[in-house]
A = this chain, B = another copy of it.
Amino acid sequence: MKLLTKHTDYAIRALLELAGSKDEFLSAQQIAKRQRVPYQFLRQILQGLIKDKLVISKEGRGGGFRINKHPYLISIVDVIVIFQGNIQLSDCMFRKKLCINRANCVLRKQINRVEKLVNKEFKGITIGCLLRDLEKPKRRG
């Protein structure tokens, strides 16, 4: 069972790369090479990030992509939502006839609660804090 797909995975890597060179434009080629991600696939993903204005692009020679938001303001939920839709742990499992008491259904309630929890937790994980973690690899134990 996977909560995060490759789309999300690669998107986060791309964002980390772009956050690391904040003011430059990086081409899809460069990002693909540095992060070892399939080039064409990455391009699709970058288009997704553009739609939500997490990055902007510049066409033509010397063009590429640049991050468009402060890294601490981009959480991994933002990315998940673009590529996988809202975090929804399950459709309502039981249909009307079975689950007469939908409003009070324990399963429904619990799943909703867990869902909110996951959302909240993931909102706290930002590109900024991930980048900081990557850039300060040596901490004394």
Interface residues of A (CB under 8 A from B): 1-4, 9, 12-13, 35, 76, 80, 84-85, 87-91, 93-94, 98-101, 104-107, 110, 113-114, 117-118, 121-122, 124-125, 129-130, 132-134, 136-139
Contact = CB atoms under 8 A, between A and B. Distances in A.
A1 B105 contact: no
A84 B139 CA distance: 37
25 contacts: A1-B80, A1-B84, A1-B87, A1-B88, A1-B89, A2-B89, A2-B91, A4-B89, A4-B93, A35-B98, A76-B107, A100-B137, A101-B133, A101-B134, A101-B137, A105-B133, A106-B130, A106-B133, A110-B122, A110-B124, A110-B125, A114-B117, A114-B118, A114-B121, A114-B122
